[in-house]
Amino acid sequence: MPVFHKIILTVVLSCAFTTAQADPVALNVKTGLWETKMEGTNHGAAFMPPISEEDLARMPAQQRTRIEAMIKASSANMTPSGNKLCVTEEKLKQFDPDSRRSNCTHVLMKSTPTEQQFKLECSGAATANGVIKVNVVDRENISTDMVIHTTLRGHTTTMAAQGTAKWLSSDCGDVAP
């Protein structure tokens, strides 16, 4: 998975526990150790220039096979990923989805104790925009859904991903908040 998409997934998982309103509405979930999982698909080969059928037909067979494999891989399912997070009362009330990405903004479109919806916009060499939805299934389970459009060097890809978060324990152990 491209590094930029890993960063976007980190933002999504962090957003699942935060809000952006002046008077935040925290999700109605338990604090403590959570395990997150995310999987999805990529479409559009954003990091490869488009290649016409005619250009492919003119390539030597070995080169064409390599290029076709790269195009197929770029539109394949994303490798499922997981992470553990320590969620505190403070984290539920604040908005800091990912301070490492200063070129991204997050706008809260909807916030209730059981549902949040964010708009994500990133600028720079690679731009991205999309919507992230977070739903509380119950106090120990969350589901997320996102669609992110990324553009790099004039080529756009769409990443659609779904995720879950499951509460594991009130003790975070060695996982820092």
pLDDT at residue number 2: 47
Higher pLDDT, 85 or 67: 85
DSSP 102-149: TTEEEEEEEEETTEEEEEEEE-SSEEEEEEEEEEEEETTEEEEEEEEE
State the average pLDDT for the chain. Answer: 77
In single-letter form, the type of residue at position 5 comes to: H
Question: CA dihedral defined by 57, 61, 62, 63, rounded to 10 degrees?
Answer: -20
What's the helix, strand, coil split of the chain in %, to 5? 20, 45, 35
- Which pLDDT band, with edges at 50, 70 and 90, does 20 fall under? very low
Q: Give whichever of 23-37, 63-77, 162-176 has the largest mean pLDDT.
A: 162-176
d(CA 87, CA 34): 7
Q: For 56-66, how does the pLDDT look when each residue is reduced to its tens digit (9 = 90+)? A: 788 888 887 87
pLDDT digits (tens, 9 = 90+) for 100-159: 556 888 888 888 899 988 888 988 878 889 999 999 999 999 999 999 898 877 778 888
47 or 42, which is more confident?
A: 42
pTM given for the model:
0.67
Place of tokens 């995310």: 38
158, 50 in Cβ contact below 8 A? no
- Split at pLDDT 50, 70, 90, the class of 51 is low
